[in-house]
Structure 1
């Protein structure tokens, strides 16, 4: 407990930065569940592919530490474009290949859930075997920078040097901390307003509320579902950029983080966009505070205990309002 009190500010800031990543990934779970009543467990791999896209574009452009401000802005912008494009594409392909055929056949929800789990393993292993796949086409040497050590950690060059901006409670809040938290909140506000005000957003809410009535009113359900997966993938791509700026990635990096993001979605209220934001931040803080009290080796346990408690005592989550009913 003394460690928590002595390092409260540091634990709070780092908890918020990690919670921002959880929140962005949780939006994908929330959007898909709100429209399809489906837990897309392969969404964690959508996020993971975004981390590699962000890493590879920096390697391709020759990014390295010590660049000018203009270079850093360019590299970060390219990371967002690459990660969002990659995650959005993977999400759309996932919907088209793994879920749409089942939906057309009116398959039971359990079958779709099994398909999601299977797709998750397939996507993960494809990334883990990328060196071998490149070798099949004789490209292992040409693509060495992108495929070597394919089952080990991959780190982004330190293109942003953390610089203290201000101090709070003895902790130096850096430019990277502010970038992650402010950037994540801004992206979530944009999504919130898109779902509220745009024609496609109203279509998403209509399908989430009553698919049959929405179809009678001329809403193209397949198009809405595709856009929903695309939006979730884009949010995962944004989360991937913030994640790779602070942490390493690897072929299975999405597994534990995806489960925690799902926990954040349930915590805030599955199907509620603002609930995903709240749940992500609460989970990030709870993990840090809990690990400070019981030990860092119990950090993952804290998240899952919190999930169990929420499901036991408030299964609808902290906000508990579905996407179809939300007044975003």
Structure 2
């Protein structure tokens, strides 16, 4: 029983990282109906910015996190303006192929700039002691990751539901043409969506680096795909769905590892994707929408 609760704690920590990345996927899809496959690489860039902020600039955890989020937000806007904006009225497949191309460009651009060798986050970034509750050892890092994720998710909900840009995002998501007619600047709203989603991915990169220590230029591929699965699981385009989907996927992975099938932990995400597409294509929080032809 103790082992099970321990794995649930680990799963929630891992799932909160997936949830932060999945939020970027789901926000962008909700507004421009684009699966931004370069999003996992923004997460990788965030991890490296956090690493260099800590090791080279000698910053603490919080300043490094904020710097990574700010840089990734700017990076996300640049990606949208350069790669996606010219394709706004193009076919879905053209935008999808461009997203894959941008992903490869970022990965191999990073390898060209700094080499392919991995780096390791220092262990003494945040000194939070582990403690035991009813015989269950909970690491301080797991709690920190969970706290950062919860704060950022609450902040996102506040932005989306209580601010002017949040209202504009919801309006554009509902009907882009009607939003234009009502005087909403659609281009700025889409850029803001990319900025917020990319900032969350940058934060996920820093906490992932702290949790797993090792980072490398191709590290964004698998977490990016898993976060996409989490977004589909929750219902793509639905913000609470991305949060729940990420947490559920993290817990499933940890339980699979605990059961002795650790080699299958990456594969189980795609089993979940296949099952959700077969039995509930709209996701846990999605509604089946009939399109008139």
Establish whether TM, by shorter chain, passes 0.5.
Answer: yes
Distance of 1:289 and 1:304 partners within structure 2? 15
Structure 2 SS opposite 1:253: coil
Distance of 2:287 and 2:260 partners within structure 1? 33
**CA drift at 1:183:** 1.5
**CA drift at 1:321:** 5.6
**CA drift at 1:293:** 2.5
Aligned to 2:65: 80
**CA drift at 1:90:** 1.5
Asked whether 1:114 is paired with 2:101, we answer no
Q: Against the structure 1 CA distance between its residues 88 and 219, is the aligned structure 2 distance closer, same or farther, given a 3 Å change threshold?
A: same
Of 82, 91, 107 in structure 1, the residue corresponding to residue 76 of structure 2 is 91
Structure 2 SS opposite 1:7: helix
Aligned to 2:108: 125
Of 139, 155, 164 in structure 1, the residue corresponding to residue 120 of structure 2 is 155
**CA drift at 1:6:** 6.0
Asked whether 1:27 is paired with 2:7, we answer no
**CA drift at 1:86:** 2.0
Asked whether 1:37 is paired with 2:33, we answer yes
Is the Cα contact below 8 Å between 1:272 and 1:321 reproduced in 2?
A: no
Asked whether 1:315 is paired with 2:281, we answer yes
Length, aligned pairs only: 286
Distance of 1:269 and 1:33 partners within structure 2? 11
Q: Quick check: 181-190 or 217-226, which moved more?
A: 181-190
Aligned to 1:141: none
Q: Against the structure 1 CA distance between its residues 190 and 321, is the aligned structure 2 distance closer, same or farther, given a 3 Å change threshold?
A: farther
Is the Cα contact below 8 Å between 2:16 and 2:149 reproduced in 1?
A: yes
Deviations 1:282-314 (A, max 9, x none): 000001112322510110111110111011101
**CA drift at 1:107:** 1.0
Aligned to 1:214: 179
Aligned to 1:198: 163
Aligned to 1:240: 205
Deviations 1:59-108 (A, max 9, x none): 1233xxxxxxxxxxx601221122102211221111011101112xx211
Deviations 1:216-274 (A, max 9, x none): 10011101000000010111111112111111110000000000000111111111111
Of 253, 261, 286 in structure 1, the residue corresponding to residue 252 of structure 2 is 286
Structure 2 SS opposite 1:8: helix
Is the Cα contact below 8 Å between 2:24 and 2:197 reproduced in 1?
A: yes
Q: Quick check: 155-164 or 271-280, which moved more?
A: 155-164
Distance of 1:174 and 1:273 partners within structure 2? 28
Structure 2: 5+ residue stretches without partners: 289-293
Q: Against the structure 1 CA distance between its residues 213 and 313, is the aligned structure 2 distance closer, same or farther, given a 3 Å change threshold?
A: same
Distance of 2:128 and 2:119 partners within structure 1? 20
Distance of 2:128 and 2:8 partners within structure 1? 18
Distance of 1:173 and 1:317 partners within structure 2? 31
TM-score normalised by the chain length of structure 2:
0.94
Distance of 2:131 and 2:147 partners within structure 1? 14
TM-score normalised by the chain length of structure 1:
0.84
The alignment's C-alpha RMSD in Å is 1.5
Structure 2 SS opposite 1:285: helix
Distance of 1:246 and 1:76 partners within structure 2? 13
Distance of 1:291 and 1:54 partners within structure 2? 28
Aligned to 1:275: 241
Aligned to 2:53: 57
Q: Radius of gyration: which is bigger?
A: 1
Distance of 1:273 and 1:185 partners within structure 2? 13
